[in-house]
Amino acid sequence: MRNILTRYRYPALTFFASASSASRTRALPLITTTTTTTTNNNLTKIDKHPRTFKMTIHKTQEPHITAITELSPQSSKWITLQQIHYVDQTGKPRLWEVAARKTRSTPTASSAGGIDAVAMCNILLHPRRPPSTILVIQYRPPMDAYTVEWPAGLIDQGETPEQAAVREFKEETGYDCVVKGVSPIQAADPGLSNTNMVMATVEVNLKEEDEDPLEGKLPEQKTEVGEHIERVVVPMAELYERLVEYSKKERHVVAAKLFHFAMGMHFATTERYGVFGKRE
Amino acid sequence: MRNILTRYRYPALTFFASASSASRTRALPLITTTTTTTTNNNLTKIDKHPRTFKMTIHKTQEPHITAITELSPQSSKWITLQQIHYVDQTGKPRLWEVAARKTRSTPTASSAGGIDAVAMCNILLHPRRPPSTILVIQYRPPMDAYTVEWPAGLIDQGETPEQAAVREFKEETGYDCVVKGVSPIQAADPGLSNTNMVMATVEVNLKEEDEDPLEGKLPEQKTEVGEHIERVVVPMAELYERLVEYSKKERHVVAAKLFHFAMGMHFATTERYGVFGKRE
């Protein structure tokens, strides 16, 4: 993984343009990093995986960092830097540095009880297709890379995690979903930040006549201005292998929570250790 | 989950003292939050789970936060606050706030290639016991709670992830382990920080004559001064249920990566969706 402080030439991604026909594609020139904005909207990106699918993205150039500046906790909007003064188990006073979100209200002010975010473990059920999941790929400035994640978002003031899950899922994927369950609260990165989250398990129940998401036929997203979120649909049974493939792609990184879920699935199904009584 | 800014009275945890005999226990007074240091070392804590086991911890009081102060990026040692100036996919200049680790060297300066941390998915194999895993529970000031995690640590300068995994695992658990594999690089919390990590899968191969970790008979830890890490051993097949239980415990929170792994195992084995061809 590249450090965000590293400057490098941006890898060439291969793009194809589609004149609103999924079958007719023509090669575009490789995208180079300039500050000139070209306006090839409605580009269709072809994934190199054997199970080829197509995604509509609106991208005219590779995003890139122009500067990194230090920020004071007073002038930041989203995150602050704090020193925690605490007394440890033996009575000794100690210090710990923490990155804290400014967006979280006090636990009682929000109906979500002080939960920052919700991520959606989602299952797309289509009569003709294996159970699949929709992942989102977006440029994340902190990593200076495209991250592969489950749809997720911050819980708004007054929202329940379930409401935030339905709203964010619609915004990022275009699908209406049904929440089947919400996990206990989890610590996102407890050595570094106070951020926490829950995972909602959501279902998208498609009918025979609905278009096939595994063919890349997805509803329109409701993303906000400035959000450029690519969607990929992956059969659940292939999730682990697909994430390993994404990790090998230039300038791509998989988010740890999604990867750990997939690793857990892989661990349980390969059963090298006979954990569930079926040692191989 | 409590916000770290919340002050509250500390919940009473029940502790029992053991005079080096696992069977003989006597109740201690409930621990109250004072700054007086008492010196009841070698306390043994009894977990309330049906599969009772005992842990040796050196704890004399509940840790607690005394103050939270703002920290400037200049005076922090571990974390800094940065503003990333970047140009997005459409050519528009944008800003993003990020919490960045100061401890990561440039990608090429470290043999680990700019990886912050390694976590250990660990399997304890004992001839008389089901495959189990060892979890660590420690007070994490950013959460003001006890977090349940897999052993993990920052990769030192010049170390490979494998070397860091063996070293940190020995320090936190007391066990020597064998690294069976290392995951691709994962983004720890890519919307908030530049932190990344890998997961090492490690085995502890115990012999018939070795003491039974599921009975709480664990080797001595090599923790640093100020580290107070409780260890619990859980059969892998029970991991998900045990984490759900821990999430219900007062002032405890499970780390998202560990929880997601367990959720992935649970998802794969309950098979509600017939992902692996065995719909129930």
- pLDDT one-digit tens code per residue, A143-154: 999 999 999 999
Give the whole-angstrom CA distance, residue A64 versus residue A115.
Answer: 31
Nearest residue, CB atoms, B68 vs list A62, A82, A253? A82
Structure tokens at B264: 């992935």
Above 80 in pLDDT, residue B68? yes
Give the whole-angstrom CA distance, residue A71 versus residue A167.
Answer: 31
Q: How many residues are there in chain A?
A: 280
Whether residue A162 lies inside any domain: the answer is yes
Q: How many residues are there in chain B?
A: 280
For the stretch B227-272, pLDDT in tens is 789 999 999 999 999 999 999 999 999 999 999 999 999 999 998 8
Whether residue A258 lies inside any domain: the answer is yes
Whether residue B71 lies inside any domain: the answer is no
- Residues paired with residue B27 on neighbouring β-strands, in sequence order: B16
- Residues paired with residue B268 on neighbouring β-strands, in sequence order: none
Above 60 in pLDDT, residue A20? no
Question: Mean pLDDT, chain B, as a whole number?
Answer: 79
Domain count, chain B: 1
Q: Domain limits at B100?
A: 16-65+79-270
Whether residue B141 lies inside any domain: the answer is yes
Nearest C-alpha of chain A: how many angstroms from B21?
A: 23
Whether residue A276 lies inside any domain: the answer is no
For the stretch B210-222, pLDDT in tens is 999 998 899 998 8
Do residue B130 and residue A275 have CB atoms under 8 angstroms apart? Answer: yes
Do residue B140 and residue A191 have CB atoms under 8 angstroms apart? Answer: yes
| Rg, C-alpha atoms of chain A | 21
pLDDT score at A99: 93
**Which run of H or of E encompasses A258?**
helix A256-270
pLDDT score at A60: 74
Q: For the beta carbon of residue B44, count every other beta carbon within 10 angstroms.
A: 19
- DSSP tag of A193: B
Nearest C-alpha of chain A: how many angstroms from B47?
A: 19
pLDDT score at B223: 79
Across residues A175-181, what is the average pLDDT? 97
Above 90 in pLDDT, residue B47? no
CB A92 within 8 A of CB A196: no
CB B101 within 8 A of CB B193: yes
Question: How far, in whole angstroms, is CA B237 from its chain's centroid?
Answer: 19
pLDDT class for A58, splitting at 50, 70, 90? low
Structure tokens at B187: 């983004």
Whether residue A105 lies inside any domain: the answer is yes
B141 versus A30: the higher-pLDDT residue is B141
Phi, psi dihedrals of residue B250, rounded to the nearest 5°:
-55, 130
Q: Does A195 touch chain B (CB under 8 A)?
A: yes
Whether residue A121 lies inside any domain: the answer is yes
pLDDT score at B278: 59
Whether residue A8 lies inside any domain: the answer is no
CB-neighbour burial class of residue B276 (10 A; exposed 0-12, middle 13-18, buried 19+): middle
- Give every CB contact of residue A268 below 8 A, 6+ residues apart in sequence: A275, A276, B264, B265, B268, B269
For the stretch A97-120, pLDDT in tens is 999 888 775 443 333 458 999 999
pLDDT score at B27: 30
pLDDT score at A160: 93
Above 90 in pLDDT, residue A196? yes
- Residue A166: which CATH number? 3.90.79.10
> Quick one: closest CA in A to B276, which residue?
A237
Share of chain B above pLDDT 90, in %: 60
Q: Does A255 touch chain B (CB under 8 A)?
A: yes
Closest CA relative to residue A280, chosen from A269, B126, B182:
A269
